[in-house]
Structure 1
Amino acid sequence: MTRHRTRTSASCIALGIAVAATGCSFSGLNSVPLPGVVGRGPDAQIFQVELANVGTLEPNSPVMMDDVVVGSVSTMSANDWHADVEVSVREGVVVPANVVATVGQTSLLGSMHLALDPPPGEPPQGRLPAGATIDLNTSSTYPSTEETLSTLSALVNGGGLGQIGDVIRNTGGALTGRTDETRELLARLNDLAGVLATNRTHVVESIRNLDRLAGTFAAQRDVLDRALKEIPPALDVLVRQRSNITEALRTLGAFSGVLTDVVTDVHDDLVTNLENLEPVLRVLADVGPDLDAVLAYMTTYPLSQDIIDRGVRGDYMNLFAVIDLTVPRLRRTMLLGTRFGVPQNPLVPAPGDPWYRNYTYDPLAVPVAPATQNPGDGSAAVPPPELFAESAPSMAVNPPPLLPPTQLGGPQAPVFAGPYGAPAASAEGGS
Structure 2
Amino acid sequence: MNRRRTTAAAAGALLSLALAGCSFGGVQSLPLPGGADLGSHPYTVKAQFADVLDLVPQASVRVNDVAVGRVTSIHVADDGWSAMVTMKVNGKVRLPANAYAHLEQSSLLGEKYVQLSAPPAGETSRGRLAGGSVIPTSHTNRNPEVEEVFGALSLLLNGGGIQQLKTISTELNKALTGNEPEVRDMLTQVDTLVTDLDTHKQDITDALDGVNQLSATLAVRDQKIGTVLTGLSPGLKVLDQQRGSLVTMLRALDTLSGVAVDTVNQSKDDMVADLQALAPTLQRLADSGKDLPDSLQVLLTYPFTDEVLNGVKGDYLNVYLDLTAAPGTQLIPALESKDNVYGDTAQPQSQPQSKKSNIPKGLPLPLPSVTTTAGGR
TM-score by length of 2: 0.57
- Report the CA distance between 1:33 and its aligned residue: 2.8
Give the partner amino acid of 1:96.
Answer: L
Matches within 5 A, 1:196-215: 196=197, 200=199, 202-215=200-213
Structure 2 CA distance, aligned partners of 1:226 and 1:204?
A: 33
Other-structure match for 2:116: 116
SS in 2 for 1:187: helix
Q: Does residue 1:21 correspond to 2:23, yes or no?
A: yes
Q: How many Å separate the matches in 1 of 2:47 and 2:85?
A: 6
Q: For residues 156 and 368 of structure 2, what CA distance do their matches in structure 1 show?
A: 131
Task: Note closer, same or farther for the CA distance 1:244–1:90 as it changes in structure 2 (3 Å cut).
Answer: same
1:57 aligns with 2:55: yes
Q: 2:43 aligns with which of 29, 41, 46?
A: 46
CA distance in structure 1 between the partners assigned to 2:18 and 2:126 by the alignment: 44
1:87 corresponds to: 87
Cα distance in 1 for residues equivalent to 2:205 and 2:19? 71
Q: 1:174 to 1:80 in 2, by over 3 A?
A: same
The alpha-carbon distance between structure 1 residues 47 and 169, as it changes in their structure 2 partners (threshold 3 A), is farther
Q: Secondary structure in 1 aligned to 2:221?
A: helix
Partners of 1:39 and 1:71 within 8 A in 2? yes
Question: Structure 2 regions of 5+ residues with no counterpart?
Answer: 303-318, 320-324, 331-362, 373-377
| Structure 2 contact 57–74 (Cα < 8 Å) conserved | yes
Looking at structure 1, the residues matched to 367 and 204 of structure 2 have their Cα atoms a distance apart, in angstroms, of 97
2:138 is the counterpart of 1:141: no
1:106 corresponds in structure 2 to 106
Q: Kindly tell me the number of residue pairs found equivalent between the two proteins.
A: 296
Q: Compute the displacement of 1:113 (Å).
A: 0.9
For 1:100 and 1:156, locate their aligned partners in 2 and report how far apart those are by CA, in whole Å.
35
The residue type paired with residue 47 of structure 2 is E
Cα deviations across residues 255-277 of structure 1 (Å, max 9, x unaligned)? 44444434444556667788969
1:132 deviates by 5.2
Distance 2:17 2:251 in 1: 105
Q: For the residues of structure 2 that align with 1:158 and 1:244, how far apart are their CA atoms?
A: 71
Asked if 2 retains the 8 angstrom alpha-carbon contact of 1:62 and 1:73, the reply is: yes
Is the contact made by 2:35 and 2:67 (CA closer than 8 Å) also made in structure 1?
A: yes
**Shift of the alpha carbon at 1:229?**
7.1
Q: Distance in 2 between matches of 1:268 and 1:15?
A: 137
Q: Is the contact made by 1:102 and 1:141 (CA closer than 8 Å) also made in structure 2?
A: yes
The letter of the residue matching 2:141 is S
Return the alpha-carbon distance in structure 2 between the equivalents of residues 184 and 14 of structure 1. 89
Give identity over the alignment, percent.
26
Asked if 1 retains the 8 angstrom alpha-carbon contact of 2:49 and 2:84, the reply is no
Q: Which has the higher contact order (CA 8 A, sep 6+)?
A: 2
Q: Structure 2 CA distance, aligned partners of 1:51 and 1:15?
A: 40
Residue in structure 2 matched with residue 358 of structure 1 by the alignment: none
Query: Does the 8 A contact of 2:48 with 2:84 survive in 1?
Result: yes
RMSD: 5.2
Change (3 A) 1:230 1:121: closer
Is 1:179 aligned with 2:159? no
Q: Mapping of 1:177-326 within 5 angstroms?
A: 177-196=178-197, 200=199, 202-224=200-222, 226-227=224-225, 230-231=228-229, 234=233, 237=237, 242-267=243-268
Would the alpha carbon gap of residues 248 and 189 (structure 1) be closer, same or farther in structure 2, given more than 3 Å must change? farther
TM-score, normalisation: structure 1: 0.51
Q: Distance in 2 between matches of 1:65 and 1:188?
A: 50
Is 1:33 the counterpart of 2:30? The answer is yes
